[in-house]
Structure 1
Amino acid sequence: MTRLLIVMLTALGLAACAATADTPRTAGPPLPMVERGDIAIATMQEVTRTLSSDAFEGRAPGTAGERKTLAYLVERFAAAGLKPGNRGSWFQDVPLIEITASAYDPLIIADPRKPPEEAEPLRYDFGTDWVGVSYRPQKRIDLRQSELVFVGYGINAPEKGWNDYAGIDMRGKTAVILVNDPDHARKDTRGLFNGRAMTYYGRWTYKFEEAARQGAAAALIVHDTKPAAYGWNVVQAGWSGPQSHAVRDDGAKGETLVNGWVQNEAARAIFAAAGQDFAMLSAAATRPGFKAVPLGLTATTGFDNAVRRYASKNVIGLLPGAERPGEYVLYTAHWDHLGRCPASQSGDDICNGAIDNATGTAALVALAEAFTKAGPPARSVAFIALTAEEQGLLGSEYYAAHPVFPLARTAGGINMDALSLAGPAHDVTVIGQGKSRLDAYLAAALKREGRTASPDRAPESGFYYRSDHFSFARRGVPMLYFDGGENLLHGGRAAGAAFARDYTEKRYHAPGDEYDPGWDWRGVAQDLQLNYLAGRMLAQAREWPNWNKDDEFRRIRDASCGAPGGC
């Protein structure tokens, strides 16, 4: 998500000595030649200034600020020459649900093999020792004497010949899972799971999803600061209070009762009570052929849920293709922000979200104008302003689960989130470099513009899986995402790091993220030209881009290819 991307930007400028990623693979047919786009920075300035004004009240979903945002985006999309993208409507309804847990029972770990007088249960308090929520919209959650099973990294990856759940029936049981990937400790980005570069299998989202697919009653990830890339305080804050989700078609019946995390020291004590050595089992889980280990202990807990249902909207504008209108290229950005937030010392309590992400939303409008000026490309181009990114990629997740344009007919896309106002740069920072054929499109655009690509210097953090493009990628659609450059034309890497640090400390997710008339828009102009060129080439191309052969999303794309000739 954007917050973590901004944190990374600070680290990027300070980590010049970090290892670089492998050279991206760009082999494939020649790419079509396209002209540079006529991108109006005046449009960027006007739309960013308007959306981040106090009149829009921080653009929180379900508020008056949303209504103003939607009306304004429709006005700008129509003026740019787009057509309503959803069967005559500009909108896609996104039903949302908010679940707030309270009255937590402690997490009780017991040994049913021993009589109560011989074994005192382990008791862990919510927040201090463990955290957990439920995705099920029911008033009461009760996990009762659920058998604990250590499932290593909780991965089922057929294309890699790896299945931590092989031979175990998880129905009614609680999966205890390690964070990140089995080879995360490597210093390079090679290995079955890309070494230190986290894959989708290393993300906590995947681990909970797979546990649910296996029929588990609950899933608990063992926290470890280094492979998680954040401390327990982040887990504690993120897994407390209201949790929003896109409404699931099955009413969340296929979800576990409880998804959560347990402190590392608590996990070690639990394994010891089971007569197991946590370190030894963790080491065994890094090797192929690992088998899940029943711990012989049970977990019991419960809590109340308050459920609130509300709705928001994605905004979709379409430029129909001139030759192959049934094939699509996507540009995405999230329009939402936080709305009201803790007040600053001056009393300002509106989180305006100028950089995050009025800039990305404005980019949709400016790029739409440039595309219509140039005339329709061969493929249709959809410009999608997504809702509820700040609440967990909910608008993109809902669209990808209920696509207006079939994903099997979607050639690929480009996501834009929190554009850099640091000024012009020699480079861009590519998130997810080496994953798909779309690297070739960006490489061609960079070469044309005389710029270079800097790799993600913190691949172990899995930032590719934390913004809206991920919702599409996990369903097989190749998506391109890059941040502003590290190496500024004026001041180099030190200046880039200073800008990122100032934004993170003083304005990010705070009332200070306001429009600044003194911003240097030349870097934005550079980056938008790359977005235009890469997307225009993709919209003109006949090829059907795919993920690289060893990527975790390749088999999904292969199964859904809809273009003539396949992938």
Structure 2
Amino acid sequence: MMKKLTIFITVFTIGTTGFSQSIDKIINVTEVERVERVLSADDMQGRKPFTPGIDKAAAFIADEFKKAGLKPVDKNSYLQSFNMLRIKFVSAKGTLNGKAVEERDILALSDKPVLTITESAQYQKVQVSKDSLYPVYMRLSSTPGNYLLVVDTSARNLFNNLRRRSTLFAPASSIVGLLTTEDPATYSIEYNQEVTAMPLNNVVGILPGKGKKKEEYVIFSGHYDHLGIGRPNAAGDSIYNGANDDAAGTTAVIMLAHYFAKQKNNERTIVFAAFTAEESGGFGSQHFSRQFEPDKVMAMFNIEMIGTDSKWGNNSAYITGYEKTDMGKILEKNLEGSNFKFYPDPYPDQQLFYRSDNATLARLGVPAHTISTSKMDSEKTYHTQEDEIETLDLKNMTEIIKAIALSSTSIVAGKDTPSRVEASALKR
């Protein structure tokens, strides 16, 4: 039978349920710095996909999960492997309502070298406007199926951008886009491309649930990829170390894995995930998310850029999509009496809820949120070579990780279940 304990930590005192190990012994500045320093080191080469640096980072994360005592995602490995596809356009031709379609007015996102689409093929037709093109495209690209996007000509610039960007992706669907002012009653399209498989890995460890709710999941995640090596800056530094973005979030996931593994009484199964290819379009989290039945995922804590203080200063962080579920309220309840405060996202115009690795599961109704402290209107080192460990407040970052650990305990223990994201809240 679980009993109520009082846990004392550096910044605050919180009553929690069933978690008895002293958090300071597991999550402390020394350990946080150790992990963060490895992940953001120059020899990780900026952790860009398809480089030796990201493979080295994946091996380090997998070793940390093993040391924590997590089970691997499959029998033999903590690596969740999948392929991204590099595609090279060859040719396209077609007719629409009996008239020829220009090659530039056709795009495709598919793993097939040759696509032949007619009105008799099994493609769901979706009308999109200039305002809806990007959100619809992103949603459908991670939703299995075959889709024909009929794109209004007012979206030509956005359409052209998609054609240029659709060269590297993880297959979940086949999408063909037509730029037109007409509603296609009859059409025939042939699209040819070269397709090359490019292997990538998420790193995933599992802590099985101990009770009747072991078939329910709580996810802690962050992305471990970054931008690699680019042109030298004024100081001659060419490595994008990504200390805050998002070695900080990955460090948090590793610390939380060590912490919860030592508690040994999680009612729900906890999944710890480090995603690849977030900077390339969120492909790692999309693949990961498709492995779950959404109804079985009770909560997702995605952690992104927590190495600098928030706009409110120390002992604070914000939750994207705060208003879409009551998860934030649950976390606040578990932190009552402490010095730490979670706030709603202060940058709603930037649509952060839809831009990070929580988005795929959130669109399926999961209370999946990103926790961050990044000042998105003034984060000086964002996507620069200056994003190095020396710019981080490691003490404050440690307290944020502790706050996530303690505020999530009632969800992990199966005592609280956040409300779901309603479909109406996902319309953009």
Classify the TM-score, shorter chain. Answer: 0.7 to 0.9
Q: Moved runs in structure 1, 4+ residues, more than 4 A? A: 31-36, 102-105, 108-113, 138-144, 169-174, 206-215, 220-224, 234-239, 294-304, 548-554
Q: Which amino acid aligns with 2:396?
A: G
Distance 1:302 1:373 in 2: 57
Q: Indicate which of 524, 539, 543 corresponds to 2:397.
A: 524
Distance 2:35 2:107 in 1: 38
Residue of structure 1 equivalent to 2:378 = 501
1:381-396 → structure 2 map (5 Å cutoff): 381-396=270-285
Distance 1:238 1:422 in 2: 35
Residue of structure 2 equivalent to 1:442 = 331
Query: What's the secondary structure of 2:199's corresponding residue?
Result: strand
What do residues 77-127 of structure 1 show as CA deviations (whole Å, max 9, x unaligned)? 22223232333431211121122447899xx999979xxxxxxx998x96x
Residue range with higher mean Cα deviation, 45-54 or 444-453: 444-453
Q: Which amino acid aligns with 1:321?
A: G
Distance 1:102 1:514 in 2: 41
1:413-428 → structure 2 map (5 Å cutoff): 413-422=300-309, 424-425=313-314, 427-428=316-317
What do residues 338-362 of structure 1 show as CA deviations (whole Å, max 9, x unaligned)? 2233332444433222111111111
Residue of structure 2 equivalent to 1:175 = 127
Distance 1:239 1:446 in 2: 47
Q: Which amino acid aligns with 1:256?
A: I
Inter-CA distance 509–142: structure 2 relative to 1 (3 Å threshold): farther
Q: Which amino acid aligns with 2:176?
A: L
Residue of structure 2 equivalent to 1:409 = 296
TM-score of the aligned structures, taking structure 2 as reference length: 0.77
Distance 1:259 1:515 in 2: 46
1:13-412 → structure 2 map (5 Å cutoff): 37-38=23-24, 39-101=27-89, 133-139=107-113, 175-179=127-131, 203-205=135-137, 208=140, 215-216=147-148, 218-220=150-152, 222-223=154-155, 240-241=164-165, 243-248=167-172, 252=173, 255-258=174-177, 305-324=193-212, 325-403=214-292, 406-412=293-299
Structure having the higher strand fraction is 2
Q: Which 5+ residue runs of structure 2 have no aligned equivalent?
A: 1-15
Distance 1:383 1:452 in 2: 24
Distance 1:421 1:453 in 2: 15
What do residues 220-253 of structure 1 show as CA deviations (whole Å, max 9, x unaligned)? 58459xxxxxxx6x886665256322233xxx4x
Distance 2:183 2:160 in 1: 26
Distance 1:400 1:93 in 2: 13
Distance 1:445 1:370 in 2: 17
1:174 and 1:299 in contact (8 A); partners too: no
Q: Which amino acid aligns with 1:65?
A: G
Pick the structure with greater CA Rg: 1
Q: Which amino acid aligns with 1:323?
A: G
1:445 and 1:530 in contact (8 A); partners too: no
2:116 and 2:190 in contact (8 A); partners too: yes
Distance 1:365 1:303 in 2: 44
Distance 2:80 2:184 in 1: 48
Inter-CA distance 347–235: structure 2 relative to 1 (3 Å threshold): farther
Inter-CA distance 477–74: structure 2 relative to 1 (3 Å threshold): same
Count of residues paired in the alignment:
405
Confirm whether residue 534 of structure 1 aligns to residue 401 of structure 2.
no
1:317 and 1:383 in contact (8 A); partners too: yes
Distance 1:351 1:142 in 2: 42
Higher relative contact order (CA 8 A, sep 6+): 1
2:217 and 2:270 in contact (8 A); partners too: yes
Residue of structure 2 equivalent to 1:469 = 358
Residue of structure 2 equivalent to 1:287 = none
Distance 1:178 1:241 in 2: 17
RMSD: 4.1
Residue of structure 2 equivalent to 1:513 = 387
Distance 2:282 2:190 in 1: 27
Q: Which amino acid aligns with 2:207?
A: L
TM-score of the aligned structures, taking structure 1 as reference length: 0.60
Q: Which amino acid aligns with 2:164?
A: S
What do residues 44-101 of structure 1 show as CA deviations (whole Å, max 9, x unaligned)? 2121211121211121223211221122112212222323233343121112112244
Query: What's the secondary structure of 2:364's corresponding residue?
Result: coil
What do residues 388-409 of structure 1 show as CA deviations (whole Å, max 9, x unaligned)? 1112111111112124xx5443
2:98 and 2:187 in contact (8 A); partners too: no
> 1:296: Cα distance to partner?
8.2
Q: Which amino acid aligns with 1:37?
A: I
